[in-house]
Structure 1
Amino acid sequence: MFIIHFVSDSQIDQEDVAKGYVVWNPSCRIPDISPYHDSIKKYISKWKPLICSKNKPLTSTVYSPITKRHTLRVNPHIVHSYSTTVALLTCCYSIITRSYQKKKIRDDDDDRYNISKAVCFKNKIELPPETEYIYVRCISGKKNIYETIHFMVIDKEPKPVTSKEELTEKKFSVFLFAIDSISRLNFMRTLPKTRKYIEERGWLPLEGYTKIADNTFPNLVAILSGMTVSQLTKHCYPSHKQKIDDCPFMWKNFSQNGYLTSYVEDTAPIASFNYLKYGFLNSPTDYYSRPILIAARKYMKIRDDGGMEYCIGPQPQIEYLFQFNTEFIQRFHNRSYFNLFWSNSFSHNEMNMPTIMDDRIRNFLADIEPYLNSTVVVFFSDHGMRFGKARETYVGWLEERMPFIYFYFPPSFQAAHPSWVRNFRANKNKLTSPFDFHATLQDLLYGQQLQPAAGCPQCGSLFNPVPHNRSCDDAGITSHWCTCSVADSSESVSDPHVVAAAHVAIGSINELLQKSVDQIKNDSSCAILSFSKVMSVRTKVGGGFAIFRRREHIIVFETEPSKAVFEVTVPEGSVKISNVAEISRINMYGSQSACVKGGSLLKLFCFCVKK
């Protein structure tokens, strides 16, 4: 049972938050729910460790600051664990390079790479200069006993400064470390050691941080560009079939001001700029992981766990990126960089799977800690789990909309910007959004927000006080994603208004499907969806007394023949659906929409049938 308890504003200070809430203001009340609430306890479990290989890695690379080259080495102490000897062992490496072209040639330009002829060696070999990616295979006799990849941090010069804007006096590096689909509450449940580690070291959370759209892409676009997807479409990305190179993502701003830039992401098939999109024509940043991970998927064994590509060869695929980022941060701690590290492989599909990475993430953060003296770190997610049985509960609804986020400010930053850090602390329990995150990145680079976020002109840097009475509208969060106050519903699932709203939503979905036949493979079509049942109804009450009369219904319903479960938000007394993009699908579509050629929205709705 969820009941909202109202307390007058005079009972609490404006900078405080009422007991039992993470946000409390005249326009927004967000309850502080236990991560182990009774309604989701039965869905919580701890995963057993997943082992990609019983043996330790056979090869490694070591960088020499003198020669500025990497040496590829065989570890002689573990050769025996591969049932061979040093004398019988031969290893060979091939260099992977990204294919470059001046204009779009194919739909998979972002997946193109070249691979060199293999070079074989014994024990160790110095790699040619500028070798960034290699595929390694080791043979004993005629038997292939080992294969792996190495993604090395080679020396690169930042691009010439072209920006005319003045920077902050001291250039702090920025490291964005994101784990997909982890809510604030699920972070507390699944990564307790990591949470303890960062909170003991003064990392600062934002407990009212709320997503602004359904999945990764629009929330990341808001962070990196300050735009909504519809604005991005008009500005630089007219179609998912077009390259996305021309869009104004923040790594360009950092690059134009002399920063090295890096963007690495695991699970290439669903990468943020590639899932149902054509990605980049050329590398978006100085360091880019996609070429080596695409090559690895072709040449190495992939093992799925939790519905994701977890293992690549002998290691979890995120391990390759942990190793890269550790070397990158250690090597460049005295240089200015912008580094985005995004992971999907252990969190995207299974709510409890992140438990297997708690120790590794904690150790990664400990490994890089000595090198963060001039680096601001943001550790965050894009949203919570978007589907599954837990998602059908109220707690799941809240979690989906409220990802975890922490900022780390090194002592040198706190000394340089004491008022910024003081204001940030005061925003812990304020309603915030990815648009504020974007404005904060501008502050970190320029010392001020030069351009308002197009998607939320009234949003601002988290280094400024967030207005006490902020509403979802003020934060660029539409009603469907707004978490400001929900109460149990007295409405019946058979209420005529509720059922009518579900029918209207289904009609909107079918209308979209009928308009999008050009995006469906020729031998298939999307089935017309029909109403099955309303599964639940909750009443959403406006956040504060001033807008108490604003009431909405959150309706969860099932359709035939797909058994798809959808969620829609409609005003009380209305059945109008303002935006079909804000009808959420909260169970997995799997292969049901395999006939969709493009467009993530259609994937949510289409139930493919052969013609």
Structure 2
Amino acid sequence: MRNIRATTRNKSNPTSSVTVIILLFVIIYYCGFRIHSLFKTNMDYSDGLSMLDQNETDDLKKPLKFVVRDAVCKIPRIYAFAPEIDEIHTPLVSCATELQRTKPLVSKMLDHVTDHYYLHINKQWKSLYLQGRAGIDCCFRDIHREGDGESADAKSKVSPCYIFRQDFVVPLDVNGVIVNCRSRDSNKLIFVDAFFFIHKRNPNTKYEKSKRIGVLMLGLDSMSQINLRRRMPRTHNYLENHNEWHEMLGYNKLDYDTFPNLMALLTGRSLRQHQGALHTYPFLWDQAKAMFMPTAFAADRTNVHVLTAETTEFTNPPTNYYLRPFMLAIENWLRMNDSFPAPKYCLGPRFAANYVLDYALEFAQSFAGHGGLGLFWVNSFRDYYMEPTMFDDAFFKYLALLKSKGVLKNYVVMLLSTNGMLRGRLNKLRSGFYEERLPFLYISLPNAWKRKHPELANALQANRNRLISPFDLHQTIKHSLALGTSVQPQFDDVADCAKCQSILKPIATNRSCSDAGIDWMWCSCEPFVTECYNTNFLMNSLLSHMNGLLSMAGLLNDTCHYISLRTLYGIYNSQRDNNYYYVKFSTSVANAEFEVALWYNSDKLTVSLDRNKVNRLDSNAVGCVRQKDELLMKFCVCVQKKVSSGTEKEAAVEGSKREVEQFNDVTNISAILT
């Protein structure tokens, strides 16, 4: 018996081992449960391969398609047709009536001998608009910029309506008109439309025979290469099946939204490094003007700031041909006209986007052989990921028109965006990380260049799967303008990206995001990593920090709600700086959505915000905080309904506090497991 007891004492006690195993199991299970259940995250980190596009193969050694694949950077090609996306159907939108679209009462005409525009009344269709033999009177309102010497983005001014007769020749100082036609007997408004005019002012005729090559940039805002395949199938198939178009699959944004990315493309400067008025930046338009080339800029939806921010404007029109005053006017006059109500995507008998693309086509045809530089940007279909489908058919036909009208012979044409969709359903998918970071980019070179400089097309083909940024496109445009005027290209370093280059020359493999001027925050090469241990503490510290800033500013009253967590979409951890995180989440109140970059000290449980990378993602951001720090304006989840009595006010505030306390009580349970 004594020997048995001794033997038993010498053996290890199984109870402690089992306890350790059970505890480890509980920790692992709890971490998984916390991420997927308590935080209600709908990002599935365990099944990354199901995002990849397995319908395309490179070769037997690479069964999955990659956008970029080398020793430094790996970006997967994402499968665009996830089941949760396919079930959404896009509504059809028609602008005005079929009669107005197909048989307009008034048309804009151009005399190619005199280069003068005139307004033509299509009398053969008058009877379709009127009953009986009643006559019609048509008039036009001249659109011009209000005030000389003011901001280029000042309000437009519209003149009284001047009656015109058949084939009225448009004066050279009239850049746009709104046309009204009324029945002569009843004075009833029967037709409304608007026309812009691109008058050729002192063209450089000496270059006509030399056929100078220009650059056109046609943009679709917030369009990823993934969503282009998903939502614009006719456009995508056309681009893939016509060999004049070269797709750049490794094109990666370098900042949050359109404005800083376009500024990098057009100026070679980063807004993070340079602040000031827009006229102080060295725009590529200035280089084109110095080469005696015409320049143009057009964008629809004037409430969306493409090349202006709330605190920055052009002091003068930045280009020779500038569509913004025209768009400001027709948005007010055509959309507000009770006689011809139209969906939000329409202005008169056409999509708002058609004015921009028609402006690009007319600019290109007017100055064929003179070169030129134009940016034409479509914002109309940027808010919801299904919207581009409405424009798919029109854009597909427009691309075919570029070829049939000879535009591709006279211009380097870039089809591009600067970022994918920044908010909404796509960001909540597992592929959301790539959706917003990988905009689409196609480039077409004139056939004459391909014959004379075959190395240019070869470079584009080689760069198809290389990492590219807007800084590279800046150099590419400079390169193209120089070649287009038979000038030896000067490859000066981009001020804020010394290693960036023209993509008309081969880009080295093993290129990092820093080489391309892309910050880690926006780099698609970086895999996202989440740590169960830090998740609860980090979110608790972040929310406490955000609420603390609001509290110190005296905003946690009837202005702003306390911020508490509803859904955690993901936590991304830098592979270069273990203390650097990027978090996306929504709040319990108002379902406000945030994107926050921060440094987290896990020892002290403190948070330091990367202020330049804090964004509000929800479309319901009211902006009820004025004349405060910009960060507080983003953090404030506005109280929509002011409470009447002091008792109700105190109850509302206390209710918000309880939400935070309940969150803290739950998240602090993790301390027991450590």
TM range (shorter): 0.7 to 0.9
Give the SS at the match of 2:222.
coil
Say whether the 8 Å CA contact 2:420–2:438 is kept in structure 1: yes
Cα distance in 2, alignment partners of residues 17 and 468 from structure 1: 17
Counterpart residue number, 1:257 = 291
| 1:240-286 deviation per Cα after TM superposition (whole angstroms, max 9, x unaligned) | xxxx2332211111111111000010001113134524522221101
2:601 is aligned with 1:556? no
CA shift in 2, pair 1:606/1:172, >3 Å: farther
Aligned partners of 2:599 and 2:609 also within 8 Å: no
Secondary structure at the counterpart of residue 377 of structure 2: strand
Kept after mapping to 1: 8 A contact 2:263/2:307 = no
Matches within 5 A, 1:295-314: 295-302=329-336, 309-314=344-349
Deviates more, 1:391-400 or 1:560-569: 560-569
Is 2:411 aligned against 1:378?
no
For 1:600 and 1:314, how far apart are their aligned partners in 2? 40
1:153 and 2:198 are equivalent in the alignment: yes
2:480 aligns with: 444
Q: Is the 8 A contact 1:383 1:403 kept in 2?
A: yes
Question: Contact between 2:437 and 2:522, CA under 8 Å: does it hold in 1?
Answer: yes
* Per-residue deviation, 1:182: 0.7
Letter of the 1:270 counterpart = V
Residue matched to 1:113? 156
Aligned-residue offset at 1:135: 1.5
Q: Identify which of 215, 227, 230 aligns with 1:174.
A: 215
* 1:90 equivalenced with 2:137 (yes/no): yes
Correspondence for 1:532 among 558, 565, 568: 565
Match of 1:330 in 2: 365
- Contact 2:223/2:419 (8 A) holds in 1: yes
Match for residue 501 of structure 1? Answer: 538
Cα distance change on mapping 1:147 and 1:525 into 2, 3 Å: farther
CA distance 1:313–1:245, change in 2 (3 Å):
same
- Higher relative contact order by CA 8 Å / sep ≥ 6: 1 or 2? 1
Alignment of 1:38-187 (within 5 A): 38=83, 40-42=85-87, 44-56=88-100, 57-84=104-131, 87-102=134-149, 104=150, 110-140=153-183, 141-157=186-202, 171-187=212-228
1:319 matched residue in structure 2 = 354
1:596 and 1:602 in contact (8 A); partners too: no
User: 1:201-280, aligned counterparts within 5 Å?
Assistant: 201-202=242-243, 203-233=245-275, 236-237=276-277, 244-280=278-314
Work out the percentage of aligned pairs sharing the same amino acid: 27
Offset of 1:218 from its aligned partner? 0.6
1:453 aligns with 2:499: no
Q: Deviations 1:142-164 (Å, cap 9, x if unpaired)?
A: 11222221111111236999xxx
| Cα distance in structure 1, aligned partners of 2:270 and 2:551 | 25
> Of Structure 1 and Structure 2, which has the larger fraction of its residues in helix?
2
Alpha-carbon contact 1:177-1:341 (below 8 Å) kept: yes
| 1:566 corresponding residue in structure 2 | 594
Which residue is 2:232 aligned to?
A: 191
Query: Does the residue aligned with 1:177 lie in a helix, a strand or coil?
Result: strand
What is the DSSP-based 3-state SS (H/G/I as helix, E as strand, rest coil) of the residue aligned with 2:331?
A: helix
Q: Structure 1 residue 22 and structure 2 residue 67: aligned?
A: yes
Q: CA deviation at 1:350?
A: 1.2
1:504, CA displacement in angstroms?
4.5
Quick check: 1:302–1:311 contact (8 Å CA) kept in 2?
A: no
* CA offsets 1:575-611 (integer angstroms, 9 cap, x no match): 6545122234343234x21554799876643334579
The amino acid of 1:46's aligned partner reads T
Is this contact kept in 2: 1:63–1:71, CA < 8 A?
yes
Indicate if the aligned counterparts of 1:4 and 1:486 stay in contact, CA closer than 8 A. no
**Alpha carbons of 1:431 and 1:94: their partners in 2 closer, same or farther (altered >3 Å)?**
same
Is this contact kept in 2: 1:191–1:358, CA < 8 A?
A: yes
Say whether the 8 Å CA contact 1:502–1:557 is kept in structure 2: no
| Structure 2 CA distance for aligned equivalents of residues 400 and 504 of structure 1 | 27
Aligned residue for 1:176, secondary structure, equals strand
Corresponding residue for 2:319? 285
Asked whether 1:344 is paired with 2:385, we answer: no
Residues 503 and 66 (structure 1), Cα distance of their counterparts in 2 relative to 1, 3 Å cut: same
Q: 2: distance between equivalents of 1:456 and 1:342? A: 25
Residue 314 (structure 1) shift: 2.6
Question: Shift of the alpha carbon at 1:81?
Answer: 3.4
Cα displacement (A) at 1:455 = 2.5
* Number of the residue aligned with 2:648: none
Deviation per residue, 1:1-60 (Å, 9 max, x gap): 43469xxxxxx99xx977332111112111111111346445x43332433333323221
Structure 1 residue aligned with 2:452, among 389, 398, 416?
416
Amino acid corresponding to residue 616 of structure 2 in structure 1? R
Per-residue deviation, residues 430-458 of structure 1 (Å, max 9, x unmatched): 11111111111121123535432222222
1:166 corresponds in structure 2 to none
Would the aligned equivalents of 1:456 and 1:475 in 2 still touch at CA under 8 Å?
A: yes
Moved more, 426-435 or 529-538: 529-538
- 1:240 corresponds to which residue? none
Cα distance in structure 1, aligned partners of 2:347 and 2:631: 30
- Rg comparison, structure with higher value: 2
Partner of 1:581: 612
Query: Displacement, 1:469?
Result: 1.2
Structure 1 residue 361 corresponds to structure 2 residue 395 = yes
CA gap of 1:415–1:513, structure 2 versus 1, over 3 A, is: farther
Match of 2:521 in 1: 480
**2:469 aligns with one of 427, 433, 441:** 433
TM-score scaled to structure 2, two decimals? 0.76
- Give the whole-Å Cα distance in 2 for the aligned partners of 1:75 and 1:599: 57
Partner of 1:164: none
Q: 1:156 to 1:55 in 2, by over 3 A?
A: same
Is 384-393 or 397-406 further displaced after alignment?
384-393
Aligned residues: 566
2:191 maps to amino acid: Y
Aligned-residue offset at 1:78: 2.9
Q: 1:58 to 1:392 in 2, by over 3 A?
A: same
Residue number in structure 2 paired with 1:467: 508
1:414 is displaced (CA, Å) by 1.5
| CA distance in structure 2 between the aligned counterparts of 1:579 and 1:308, rounded to whole angstroms | 40
Cα distance in 2 between the residues matched to 1:181 and 1:572: 31
Partner residue in 2 for 1:392: 428
The residue identity in structure 1 corresponding to 2:465 is N
Q: Secondary structure at 1:146's aligned position in 2?
A: strand
- Between 213-222 and 110-119, the greater mean CA deviation after superposition: 110-119
2:650 aligned partner: none
Structure 1 stretch 67-76 or stretch 575-584: which is displaced more?
575-584
**CA contact 2:90–2:389 (8 Å) conserved in 1:** yes
Find the counterpart in structure 2 of residue 606 from structure 1: 636
Answering whether residue 660 of structure 2 is matched by residue 593 of structure 1, we say: no
Matches of 1:364 and 1:599, distance apart in 2: 44
Q: Secondary structure at the match of 1:334?
A: coil
Deviations 1:119-149 (A, max 9, x none): 2134432222332211211111311222221
Q: Measure how far apart 1:392 and its partner are.
A: 1.2
RMSD of the TM alignment (CA)? 3.6
1:514/1:275 CA distance change after superposition, 3 Å: farther
